[in-house]
Structure 1
Amino acid sequence: MISRYTQPEELPEIMTPQDIADYMGVTRLTVYRLIQIPNDKGGIPFFSVGVSKHSSKRVVKKDFLRWLEKQTERGVMHA
């Protein structure tokens, strides 16, 4: 089970929005909002699994950790 106390190396290589929410201590809706923001504007990079507009979203762990590091350096998190 993922929580705010999970070490980065223990995170799965491919993360779900719920994994990210649990790790960050925010709601899944907040993560979906962060995913909707374009990457160049500070959004979490993701890829879709499926072909419909309601396809599952997934995030590569290294991309998430890089994004998180940038956010903490800037001292800002958009949601």
Structure 2
Amino acid sequence: MTQTKQIYSTWDSLPDTLTANHISQYLRISRRRVYDLFQMSVEVGGIPNFDIGASKRVER
């Protein structure tokens, strides 16, 4: 059975709660860069996020 990878290219195609993978696909940047942006404060361009266990999430 083959799984097709969901491509998130439009705002409406994204789920309500985003992972670093969703953000990296949508912004076309590396997942590592997304995690760097999670570490930065919002005032200097960081992405606001919250933790679910060891995972980071973002509200759309």
Point out where structure 1 has 5 or more consecutive residues left out of the alignment.
Answer: 62-79
Identity %: 38
Q: How does 1:58-77 map to 2 (within 5 A)?
A: 58-61=57-60
The equivalent residue for 2:31 is 28
Point out where structure 2 has 5 or more consecutive residues left out of the alignment.
Answer: 1-5
Write 1 or 2 for the structure with the bigger share of strand. Answer: 2
Number of aligned residue pairs: 55
Flag the structure with more relative contact order, 1 or 2, with Cα contacts below 8 A and sequence separation at least 6: 2
- For the residues of structure 2 that align with 1:49 and 1:26, how far apart are their CA atoms? 23
| Runs of 4+ with deviation above 2 angstroms | none
Write 1 or 2 for the structure with the bigger share of helix. Answer: 1
Say what the alpha-carbon RMSD is for the aligned residues.
1.0
In the alignment, does 2:7 pair up with 1:2?
yes
TM-score, length of structure 1 as denominator length: 0.64
